[in-house]
Chains A and B, each alone.
Chain A
């Protein structure tokens, strides 16, 4: 009977084109508005590394003390650590994998003298970064532990940079000149672009770096931080060494802790380290450390703002108003067909059959409204792209799952809105309609 009801639904919708168009428009506009907001919200709230987000932990250590803190979360913790603490934690090696890292950059001079140098964003990190964040390689691999220890001038480049400089060819073994230093390419990554860029939220929706260099080599080359650096009283002695020895926080630190036991162990290691710092007289306050997994980290960092939540709420309220309008139109349409419903009842249709027929008709309106809503969503996202900055506009893409959500939402919401008119239709007494005729 489903096919029969579908055919009847199409027939019924064709009967009164104006009402049908109004219903579909009401649903479509509501879906368009709510999906535009929801698409952006979902991109903001998306788990950037779903297979490992509960195993990866951002590390925080309070190295400023309660009276110097500028933390907006009221816990005296900065989202970054000092170079001193980062190096100490790297030497403890209490996690399965761990990496200190910071954003940097350089001028890249291609081998081809015809091509002009250009600026590249880079990340100084450790070899653990790649397996820890599930980065896949197109060519080659990460640098080795030996290369890391020797602070070799090696690097890993993004697929996009490889396409740009080497036209997509295998560039492993080739040389790239960064700020006058020759670096040998050891690996080319596959496209990798987590959104948001959870491992360094200073550039929340920015693109991933084009170049990854060993942390020790970057420090030795005095590659400056291109990210956020926060200092309080102690801005350190002048010069690079002074900067490294200062209490300024500018290094992100991540640890991979696959089990709850390992996470618990790591917490105690961190606390012990902070307690040691207190005993040595560097910290004048009790240990204040924290590890947070990716989801906790995104929440802590307010990646999804309250304004975004409110906008989604408002857009769904608008959808509700649109659905109420569609419901009224549906009621008018169905009651206008009470005669036909009476005939069908007289010919043997029970209430359930009438209910199913009308509900499927509502579903067809929902499907058509969903398609219109998708078109309006695409239009809305184009509009947002022109309003938002380039980095944020990366959130405004319509994925397959967004399309599925829009259609399912539209069909389900419209079907629910159709419940009352449908119930009314099923209550039609055949005898009243037939006597009336």
Chain B
């Protein structure tokens, strides 16, 4: 589904060249739930931006759902991003002027769906995240957890092949965070491929696999400790 091979990302100024990612390789299979962890400044968000085609990379290869994304122009990247990727951001990134329904509708507009199809999808996505009753509410009228659910509904509405989540519970209290993580796990159980960036080990353990990044490189690929513990408990 998502395969990066020896990928690098360098930020250049006139005097210095800084690598955010260096010789970075990762392979995420279809239906997998991968947590990407690492300290601040390790390159987690840069990885997610490149994975989401929001940013270009300097070297290496990146294949998304079998398509090589190197050299794609803005139109092609936008189309691929719209069709194959759903984003969940830490800050929710809802559009304040639009109500829940219209926020979920945004990516569907750029997809070119007709009005009936868009309505069907927004209703289905709202129902799935449990916000059908609040479709006319504006973001400011919702709690943080509800806003993140709207963001998840927006990400799901286009039936993407890959969900990219950047610290999805970072702005939520414990209870709301648990609710959002439960929802992500539910989506995963339904077959969604999810890559979640987090610095929280407690969230990482809920993924199938954890990828740890330090200084722009993958230093450890592991099965999360909770799952190891669960596997070693005698039945």
Contact = CB atoms under 8 A, between A and B. Distances in A.
B93 A1 contact: no
A347 interface: yes
B202 to A, nearest CB: 24
B76 to A, nearest CB: 9
B81 A348 contact: yes
Contacts of A344: 95, 106, 110
B63 interface: no
Contacts of A4: 109
Given A340-B95, A435-B45, A437-B89, A350 B109 contact: no
A11 B97 CA distance: 7
Interface in B80-121: 81-83, 87, 89, 91, 93-98, 106-107, 109-111
A431 B49 contact: yes
Contacts of B45: 435
Interface string B38-64: 000000010001001011000000000
A4 B83 CA distance: 20
B82 A347 contact: yes
A335 B111 CA distance: 25
10 contacts: A1-B109, A12-B97, A340-B96, A343-B94, A346-B52, A347-B82, A348-B158, A350-B79, A430-B54, A437-B93
A311 interface: no
Given A1-B109, A343-B95, A348 B54 contact: no
A348 B89 contact: no
A13 to B, nearest CB: 11
Contacts of B79: 348, 350
A352 B75 contact: yes
A368 B52 CA distance: 39
Contacts of A398: none
A345 interface: yes
Contact of A431 (B54, B75, B97, B106): B54
Given A353-B110, A437-B93, 17 more contacts: A11-B97, A11-B98, A12-B97, A340-B97, A345-B78, A347-B82, A347-B106, A348-B79, A348-B82, A348-B110, A348-B158, A349-B78, A349-B82, A350-B74, A350-B79, A435-B49, A437-B91
Interface of A: 1, 4, 11-12, 15, 339-340, 343-353, 429-431, 434-435, 437
Contact of B87 (A346, A435, A437): A346
Interface of B: 45, 49, 52, 54-55, 74-75, 78-79, 81-83, 87, 89, 91, 93-98, 106-107, 109-111, 154, 158
B93 A350 contact: no
B219 to A, nearest CB: 23
Contacts of A430: 54
A350 B49 CA distance: 16
A349 B93 CA distance: 15
A11 B45 CA distance: 32
Contacts of B87: 346-347
A227 to B, nearest CB: 67
Which 9 pairs across A and B sit closest by C-beta, in order of nearness? Answer: A348-B82, A350-B78, A348-B110, A431-B54, A347-B107, A437-B91, A431-B55, A431-B49, A343-B93
B23 to A, nearest CB: 22
Contacts of B75: 350-352
Nearest to A347: B107
A159 B203 CA distance: 91
A435 B49 CA distance: 9
A434 B93 contact: yes
Contacts of B96: 340
Contacts of B81: 346-348
Contacts of A352: 75
Nearest to B107: A347
A52 B177 CA distance: 81
Contacts of A434: 49, 54, 89, 93
Contacts of B78: 345, 348-351, 353
Nearest to A343: B93
A5 to B, nearest CB: 10
A4 B118 CA distance: 13
Contacts of B107: 347-348
B110 A349 contact: yes
Contact of B54 (A1, A15, A346, A437): A346
A239 B33 CA distance: 115
A428 B220 CA distance: 35
Nearest to B164: A346
A437 B96 CA distance: 14
A429 B91 CA distance: 17
Q: Which of A11, A15, A339, A346 has the most CB of B within 10 A?
A: A346
B145 to A, nearest CB: 18
A435 B158 CA distance: 23
Nearest to B52: A346
A353 B78 CA distance: 10
A430 B98 CA distance: 19
A340 B81 CA distance: 17
A344 B83 CA distance: 14
A352 B74 CA distance: 10
